[in-house]
Each structure stands twice: as C-alpha cells, then as structure tokens.
Amino acid sequence: MLDLPRESDVTAIVDLVNRAYRGWGERRSWTVEDFIAEPRVDEAEIRQDLADPSVRLRIVRDGVSGAPIATVRLEDEGAGLWQLGMLSVDPDRQKDRLGQRIMAAAEDIARSEAAQRMRLYVVHRRPELLSWYGRRGYEPTGETRPFPGQEGVTGIDPRNDLHFLLLEKSL
C-alpha cells in the first residue's frame, strides 16, 4: 500500500499536502487548517525528507495514473520513539477511509523497526482531528510545542495563540 516516493513525485506531494492541509484547490475537506495562510510544505522540505535517513516518507499512488493520492511522514527519534506527521489524503479520496489504512500501515513500518511509541503533533484548534486520532489510540500527553514562527510572539495577532498538542500511543 505505502510506496517509496521518487524525486519526480516531489511537486505532486507538495500539491497534495497543501490541498489537504490548507484547502487550496476546488475541493475543501474537514482536514483544512484555513486559519493558517502559509503552505504546509514546500519542495525543499520534501527533498530534505527524501535525503534524511531517519525519515520514512511514504505515499499511496492512484491505481490508474500512479500519481500520489496520500502521504505520511515517519521519523525515528531514537530509543523506540517515532513521530508520525504529514498524514495527507487527497480531499476527493477521503471518503475511502484511506487515512485510517495509511496510519495503520505507518504504525506497522515503525513497529518493524522496533518502535515502541508513536507521537504526533496536532494544532490545538483542531478538536475534530484530536478526536479522530483519539479514536485510533492517540492520547494527549499535556505537552505542547509552539507553532513555527510563534515562539515568543506577543500582541494582538489572533495567530499568536497557535500551538501544537502532543499526542502519543504505545505500539
């Protein structure tokens, strides 16, 4: 199910992830973080992931065109702890429960490499996503992380309160 991406997939992966997370394009989904204007990823980030031996970037390809329709990023943080991120499904394919299958396959990859725990970060303004991950066994740890660009920011900008909540699951 999960395939290794190629250099030729980079542009399509960036488009897929940004449509899934930011709602760019014609179809919007429940996964959209429309309160964030910046792209979720760019080509340089994807190329960096492809070159990093601690990162396992995986995609699901369309059976007909071969184009990426879903992606997930795994990172080995050491000592049996892995991070799951960038779980993205083409908005037109989300009704297929592809996200659940990708998450299970990603957890299997991590387990096969001696992972004992999986962690992920979710923007705190996403209660529906927190619930979705909760139904899959991920629990809040109480730990937070500042949203990029928000470290030490003060003032009246409504984005100042953005932060990530850490969720974890024992594998």
Mean pLDDT, consecutive 10-residue segments, the chain of 171 residues?
A: 95 94 61 70 96 97 95 97 95 86 96 97 88 96 82 48 91 97
How far CA 85 is from CA of 27, 74, 88, 150, 152, in Å, comes to: 22, 6, 9, 20, 24
The helix/strand/coil state of 4 is: coil
With the C-alpha atoms ordered 94, 72, 42, 146, is the resulting torsion angle positive or negative?
A: positive
- At 148 the pLDDT is 75
Q: Are 130 and 167 in contact (CB under 8 A)?
A: yes
Residue environment code for 2-37, b if the CB has 16+ CB neighbours within 10 A, otherwise e = beebeeebbebbbbbbbbbbbbeeeeebebbbeebe
CA distance 147 to 40: 12
- At 149 the pLDDT is 62
Using alpha carbons, select from 8, 23, 134, 22 the residue that is nearest to residue 59.
Answer: 8
- At 168 the pLDDT is 98
- At 162 the pLDDT is 80
Q: Are 21 and 33 in contact (CB under 8 A)?
A: yes
**Non-local CB neighbours of 17 within 8 Å, separated by 6+ positions:** 40, 41, 71, 86, 88
